[in-house]
Amino acid sequence: MRKQSEKLKTPIGKQSLILDLESFTLRHVAWKPALDLWLALTPMLDLNYPEVLKYIYVVNSGGEVPKRYYMKDKKTENSNNENLQSVSIPINNKKEFRLQIDLPGTELRVFVSEGSEIGFGISRYTTLGKEEEILSLQKVNSHMLREEGSIICNNPGFYKVTFQNDNVYTPSCKLSYRLDVRPPTEHTKL
């Protein structure tokens, strides 16, 4: 800035950053060197030189996103929904399933919800009757994308799978789920 001030014979105190995003794609955003540069440069300018950066102009930014890419009101893609069971969970309520696991290495699998996010957690009852948390109750956005996964049950006993509707904007959450209990295989025993 000092050189520009001398060259133009006028004081220059702030800079404008022009970002030309023509042909800029998600591939560029995901490119680690570009992402690292952006994540390092922006806070550095903001924290250390707030008086230097006057404006950031973004030109040639992407256009409107076609509606076919919208996630809102899009039905989840259930490739294997013939075995799904459905239940409606009212607001501030939960649905619990108790499953008996007899063998170490048994696998629990799959669920999906529709219409809103849902809380999901797994716990196990110990031989003393105490409840031990395996997967803490957490919000899952399975209404946007299919939530699918498995957990290996290393200890025999009773397991509790909990679905909880805490969403204040949706009076009830329709839950389509499938809980599979699969016996251990050679690779789960290792």
**Coil, strand or helix at 80:** coil
Q: Distance from first CA to last CA of the chain, Å, rounded?
A: 64
Above pLDDT 70, what percent of the chain?
Answer: 83
**Domain check: are 96 and 166 in the same one?**
yes
**Domain check: are 109 and 166 in the same one?**
yes
Quick one: which of 90, 108, 177 has its CA closest to 140? 177
CA 9 to chain centre: 53
**Domain check: are 133 and 47 in the same one?**
no
**Domain check: are 55 and 90 in the same one?**
no
What's the pLDDT at 91?
87
169 inside domain = yes
Residue 91's domain comprises: 84-182
CA-CA-CA-CA torsion sign (122, 98, 148, 165): negative
The pair of three-digit structure tokens given for residue 7, joined into one six-digit string: 């060259």
**Domain check: are 24 and 98 in the same one?**
no
Per-residue pLDDT reduced to its tens digit, 114-173: 667 888 899 999 888 899 999 899 888 776 666 777 888 888 889 999 999 887 777 788
**Domain check: are 94 and 157 in the same one?**
yes
pTM tops 0.75, yes or no: no
78 inside domain = no
